[in-house]
Structure 1
Amino acid sequence: MKQISFLFQIFLVFLLLSGCNQKPEIGLLMDTIARERWVKDRDAFVEKVEENKGTVIVKVADSNPDVQFQQALELINNDVDVLVIIPVDMVVAAGIVKMAKNKNIPVISYDRLIKDSDIDFYVSTDNIKVGEEQAQFLTTVSPTGNYVLIGGPTSDNNSYQLYLGWMNVLQPMIDKGDINVVGSKFVSSWEGNDGYKMVKEILDSGETVDAIIAGNDALASGAIQALKEKDLAGKVLVAGQDADIGAIRNIMLGDQTITVYKPIESLAYNAADAAMKLAKGKNPSDNMSFTVNNGHRLVPAILLDGQVVNKQNIRMTVISEGFVAEQEIFE
């Protein structure tokens, strides 16, 4: 009997030691890695979590909200310590948050705000400010003329925030009659083909276009392709965001005017740091006072600034910070 008791005590000690050595497990739900910026987000996030003695399970939904829901269900059923979500669809993602919270799993909304949900933390850029920067740059160059606005999908809250930023700058100029918006809509995806189709349709109608503001560089790239077909590339101002290598090349060629560089490494590191704190039962928002209203609650948040990149400052921004290598631009 004493021997059984002794063995049982050893077993308990083994369990305790195993629990102490167990690494926090973070689930990262991603929309896509088809564009390079998301590969950079993933790699930086994983690197930082592993540096802090955690592990990451990455799931990529390939822009399918139903797939993301099933991937979330799998991670939740496997009892990950924290869920970090780059939502495909903010409504579906709100359902994911509800499932996670039912199992007491903390949730971080990354880059895109999940509205009407009980998320614990939000890490992103100030997307309204990004939109303002895009519009401010183009209107400084061309304070009059015909503008086209290509918004992202309505399933992504960032689309609305960018549009709000654009209109904060453009509306007074529209009211004065200096700027005429000849095309404005939210397209179905963040992919280049949607930007191409929208701009092609406007140009085929015979409308003159002086400037295009696009929700991201992929949409901007599609717009540029439509401009090329009319021999207008380089003659129309084009703004995007994300600082994709293709956009940097387009800027060097003169086909794109600006992009906005997001501090992806800082975004990923802040999200990873918050995830590890939540996994250890700590509050990542200690000593923070900034919050964002997601329609359900005031969410502790970190919003970082983007930076406008144009032909004159490429070397001083994305190249000097190691975001892109100079040889990549000219290969």
Structure 2
Amino acid sequence: MKKTVLIISVFLVGILILSSCKHKPHIGLLVDNLQQERWKKDMSIFEEKVKELGGTCSVLIADSDPDKQLLQAEEMIANGVEVLVVIPANQLKAGDIVIYAHQNHVPVISYDRLIKNCNLDYYISTDNIAIGELQAGYLTKIKPAGKYGIIGGSRVDNNAYLLNIGQLNILQPLIEKGDIEVVFNEYTNSWSLHEGYEITNNYLNSEMNQGLDAIIAGNDALAAGAISALKEHNLAGSVLVAGQDADIQAIRNIVGGNQTMTVYKPIEALAYTAADAAIKISKGIAPSNMDITINNGKRLVPAILLKSQVVHRQNIDLTVVSEGFISEQDIEKNGNKE
């Protein structure tokens, strides 16, 4: 009898061990929207990496609605996700996601955009102050004096404010010398093309218009909108334009001479880093490479900030093309690559 009990016990332990070995960490990814080209790439690479690391991934899109995103978080947690990775629709309202997740013992990684004023677990992004400095630094080397316009990103996205800090880090000394005048500096409701168009067009049509030499836009969609307004005023190509994200249309605009530069964020590395961290956290392992902290208004959040690089007409092949981010064929579809 004792021998039979022992055999059954060993059998049950074996089943438990096998089942634990087969356990796949369940990771949830909450995405703000897919309006910008880059988010589709982030999402695809993240899902692929999670699966490669032995996990499963659930993804929901909030369509820029923070209340919807909270409901999606609740749905994912009810369905058993072990870690939430969030691209917040609103930097403040997403704090409710963190609170709810913690009530259910689910850690949260804030992806690319910082969730403010809550006990956020981790933050993985690029150095957005440095990106603003790259944008302004590149344009001021070409045009160290003149009238500059700044089109910031969304008011509900902390990155927009960080970009502006970086841009003004470079511009302020030149402003104080009297070499550069900032003729407009406006944030937007979203990161959309039409707002870039409206801000630029409103200035060019206003009595305040005393010329325009350069525009620094928060992303490539805003830059594309600004370029549309410049075209209507026969200024495209004569006004410097900086963007961010290395969208395919931005690369075509650079090739065509209507955009001066963009900033290529290491999206593949960003998504891979977040997926790797999520899998480790689900296994109770703290990511070892989070060697800095970022103040989100409530606590110092362990973080990883990756570096970005400038893309201009002369280095397109050496950057986004050579790394497989964009193909030469895609560039040539709507423009002539020289």
TM-score band, normalised by shorter chain: over 0.9
Output the amino acid matched with 2:301.
V
- The residue that corresponds to 1:275 in the other structure is 278
Output the amino acid matched with 2:291.
S
**2: distance between equivalents of 1:86 and 1:56?**
15
Give 5+ residue unaligned stretches, structure 1: none
- The residue that corresponds to 1:318 in the other structure is 320
Q: How large is the Cα RMSD of the aligned pairs? A: 2.0
Superimposed CA distance per residue, residues 247-290 of structure 1 (whole angstroms, 9 cap, x where no aligned partner): 00000000000000000000001000100000001011x36432
- The residue that corresponds to 2:71 in the other structure is 70
State the shift of 1:78 in Å. Answer: 2.0
State the shift of 1:79 in Å. Answer: 2.6
State the shift of 1:102 in Å. Answer: 1.1
- Alignment partner of 1:230 is 2:243: no
Structure 2 residue matching 1:300: 3-state secondary structure: strand
- The residue that corresponds to 1:98 in the other structure is 99
- The residue that corresponds to 1:213 in the other structure is 216
- The residue that corresponds to 2:127 in the other structure is 126
**2: distance between equivalents of 1:90 and 1:283?**
24
Match of 2:244 among 241, 248, 254: 241
Matches within 5 A, 1:117-156: 117-156=118-157
- The residue that corresponds to 2:267 in the other structure is 264
- The residue that corresponds to 2:190 in the other structure is 189
| TM-score, length-scaled by structure 1 | 0.95
State the shift of 1:15 in Å. Answer: 5.8
Output the amino acid matched with 2:175.
I
**1: distance between equivalents of 2:206 and 2:92?**
35
Structure 1 pair 170/248, CA: closer, same or farther in 2 (3 Å)?
same
| TM-score, length-scaled by structure 2 | 0.93
**1: distance between equivalents of 2:293 and 2:328?**
38
Structure 2 residue matching 1:92: 3-state secondary structure: coil
State the shift of 1:19 in Å. Answer: 4.1
Alignment check: 8 A CA contact 2:289 2:304 kept:
no
- The residue that corresponds to 2:305 in the other structure is 303
Structure 1 residue matching 2:154: 3-state secondary structure: coil
State the shift of 1:12 in Å. Answer: 7.8
Structure 1 residue matching 2:235: 3-state secondary structure: coil
Count how many residue pairs are aligned between Structure 1 and Structure 2: 329
Structure 1 pair 155/288, CA: closer, same or farther in 2 (3 Å)?
closer
**2: distance between equivalents of 1:288 and 1:303?**
9
Identity %: 57
**1: distance between equivalents of 2:282 and 2:249?**
37
Superimposed CA distance per residue, residues 44-78 of structure 1 (whole angstroms, 9 cap, x where no aligned partner): 11111111100100011111111111111111222
Structure 1 pair 287/58, CA: closer, same or farther in 2 (3 Å)?
closer
Alignment check: 8 A CA contact 2:125 2:306 kept:
yes
Output the amino acid matched with 2:160.
S
Structure 2 residue matching 1:150: 3-state secondary structure: strand
Output the amino acid matched with 1:134.
Q
State the shift of 1:17 in Å. Answer: 3.9
Matches within 5 A, 1:53-68: 53-68=54-69
**2: distance between equivalents of 1:306 and 1:141?**
20
State the shift of 1:11 in Å. Answer: 7.3
- The residue that corresponds to 1:32 in the other structure is 33
